[in-house]
Structure 1
Amino acid sequence: MTQHAFETAIEVRYRDTDSMGHVSSPIYYDYMQSAYLEYMHELLELSKDQKLPHIMVKTSCDYTSQAHYGDTIVVLSTVSKFGGKSFEMDHEVRHTTSDGRVVAKLKSVHVMFDYEGQSTYAIPEEFKTRVSNFQGMS
């Protein structure tokens, strides 16, 4: 990731692991969602009791190495693409050890959403500007 990424540190809990002793595959989606929420609440300066103005509509994950109970990992999140009403995010999960190896790469798609009207809407320029300023996008 060449842009400045939002970093969310996570300590792997025992309940996150499976019978083989490594983080269970569905847990990475929890890590991604936590990272997305932290990034967006901070970026938009919204308290955590406020809804974000977009919803997650699609996710995917590629697993590249293992993480275990007690490991500390970091999720590096960036907005990678803007559409008319949606935006895509990349989330790279890395070990915080000296090797910094990649554990998983996830993608998510989000759509701007008006909860009251139950409809989508165009991405506001202010949102694009905040993301660009934080990530150092040109």
Structure 2
Amino acid sequence: MKKDGFQTTIEVKYRDTDSMGHVSSPVYYDYLQHAYLGYMFDVLQIPKTEKLPHIMVKTSCEYTQPAMYGDMLTVNSRVTRFGSKSFDMEHIMRRNDEAQTIVAKGASTHVMFDYASNSTTVVPEQFKQQVAAYQGE
């Protein structure tokens, strides 16, 4: 695991673009979620058929450069903060060009969740340790 984060590669599809030919703003949230899921299933080493022990409760995205149909993007995702019941992630989206141009900066907040009791839970120390080891911290 590299310190700059878990890497997800995404090819921009034609359907991802708007009338100007840019990736449409809501599509970046799909990229963010795809990267988050890839990160979490990899760090937790659980089958993709299982539910993750947390839910996404907040997202944001800052668009810095347009991405276009045919671009290859790499999303670097990493956990940046732990709270008592939540954690934050950043998702830096770069075009795979010579300059590794940042096209968007996303952020997400996740809350630990127990589906059986339908309630939030404390972030387990084991999860914090798994993330720290995974991110090389």
With the length of structure 2 as denominator, give the TM-score of the two structures. 0.97
Query: Which secondary structure state, in structure 2, belongs to the residue aligned with residue 26 of structure 1?
Result: helix
Q: Following superposition, which runs of at least 4 residues in structure 1 exceed 4 angstroms of deviation?
A: none
TM-score by length of 1: 0.96
Equivalent residue number for residue 92 of structure 1: 92
Distance 2:78 2:42 in 1: 13
Match status 1:35 vs 2:35: yes
Match of 2:81 in 1: 81
CA shift for structure 1 position 4: 3.6
Task: Give how far 1:3 is off.
Answer: 3.0
Q: Tell whether 2:119 aligns with 1:119.
A: yes
Deviation at 1:61, TM superposition (A): 0.6
CA distance in 1, matches of 2:67, 2:77: 18
Instruction: Tell me the distance in 2 between the aligned counterparts of 1:134 and 1:38.
Output: 13
Q: Give, in whole Å, the separation in 1 of the partners of 2:27 and 2:125.
A: 33
Structure 2: distance between partners of 1:126 and 1:86 = 14
- Is 1:108 the counterpart of 2:125? The answer is no
Aligned residue pair count: 136
The alignment yields a C-alpha RMSD, in angstroms, of: 1.0
The 2-side partners of 1:101 and 1:6 are apart by: 17
Q: Which ranges in structure 1 are unaligned for 5 or more consecutive residues?
A: none
- CA-CA distance at 1:82 after TM superposition: 0.2
Give structure 2 stretches of 5+ with no counterpart.
Answer: none
Contact 1:4 1:134 in 2 (8 A): no
Write out per-residue CA displacement over residues 70-92 of structure 1, whole angstroms, 9 at most, x where no aligned residue: 11001000100000000000000
Identity %: 57
In structure 2, distance between residues paired with 1:101 and 1:94:
5
Mapped contact 1:56–1:108 kept (Cα < 8 A): yes
Cα pair 1:87 1:110 within 8 Å, conserved: yes
